[in-house]
Each structure stands twice: as C-alpha cells, then as structure tokens.
Amino acid sequence: MQTEVLRVLRTEAQSWSRHRELRKTGDLDEARRLERKTISRDIGYLRAAFNNPNAYVSCGGGGTILHLGLTTVSLYAPVERFPLASLAVRLGTPLIDCRPVCDIIALANLPKVTMDSQIHPEPWTASSRISLLTYIDAAERLGARIVKDPRAGCAT
C-alpha cells in the first residue's frame, strides 16, 4: 500500500502545470524539488487524517473537503477526481457523500465536528460542536451516503 500511495502522490505532483512547465524549460532539479515538497506535504495530510479520530472527507455539489481539524484541504471536484481525498478514504478516513442530500440548508446548519473533544449538548446551533459519529448519524438522516463508516457494526 505504501508504494501505491507514493505512486499516486508522485503522479499527482508531476501533473501540476507549474511542475510540467519547469520540466519543459529544462529546470528538472527545481521541478523535482517542488514535487518532493508537494509529496511530503500530502503525506503530512494523510498522517493527520490517519491520526485524528475526528478527521473525515465530505463531498458535495461544491467539491470535496478533507477535514483535519484546524486544517482543511479542498478541491472544486468530486472525490473521485481528488487523489489526496481518495487516498485518505482508502486508508480508512470516513467519507460523507452529501451529493444525494436534498435539504442542503439543513445540512449546512448541522453542528460542526469537534476536533478537541468538547461536545455541546442539545439543542444544537450551527456553531455547536458534536462528535463525528453524531454528525454522521445526522447527515445520514438527511440522505448523505457514508463510506468507511466508523460506527460499530456498519459495513460499507
């Protein structure tokens, strides 16, 4: 799996237009340096997703976001076209696919997932903090599809 992760990250880094342009102009050393820097950064994001029990990926009509606590990584594309998020999901990070949700306002008004274990009691507001499992339950009730469900007994 490690080789596959590195292969995907390397391919993604090499596809960046700036890196391709450097290769075309013959500045291979600078292109490789920037690619290594990009790969190292992305490995850091994957480690953060793996080590944070409340990290998750959300995908909706506006793109895909990898939620890592104080840091988010986003792309205006579906999860299938966001290699970093796809890798995080393949490595076990839950994916909340909001594309099937009809009531986007209710989804947007859900409380945020806590990253520091501080959980607010009901009734919630949009600024409240809840656990990832509670957030998944609420999103699923609205019609979201859950992949790599962390709840016990769920096989998705």
The token duo for 114 is 């806590």
The token pair that represents 17 in the structure block: 């237009």
- Global pTM reads 0.85
Helices (H), the chain: 2-14, 17-24, 28-51, 83-90, 104-108, 132-141
User: Letter for the amino acid at 56?
Assistant: Y
pLDDT tens string, the chain, 156 residues long: the values are 688 899 999 998 888 888 889 889 998 899 999 999 999 999 999 999 999 989 999 999 889 999 998 788 999 999 999 999 999 999 999 999 999 999 999 998 888 888 777 787 788 777 788 889 999 999 999 999 999 999 866 555
Q: What is the DSSP letter of 113?
A: E
Could you give phi then psi for residue 146, rounded to 5 degrees?
-110, 130
- Sign (positive or negative) of CA dihedral 108, 100, 68, 18: negative
Indicate the residue type of 19.
H
Residue in this structure with the two tokens 């998705």, named with its chain if needed: 156
DSSP-assigned letter for residue 63: E
Q: What is the pLDDT of residue 69?
A: 81
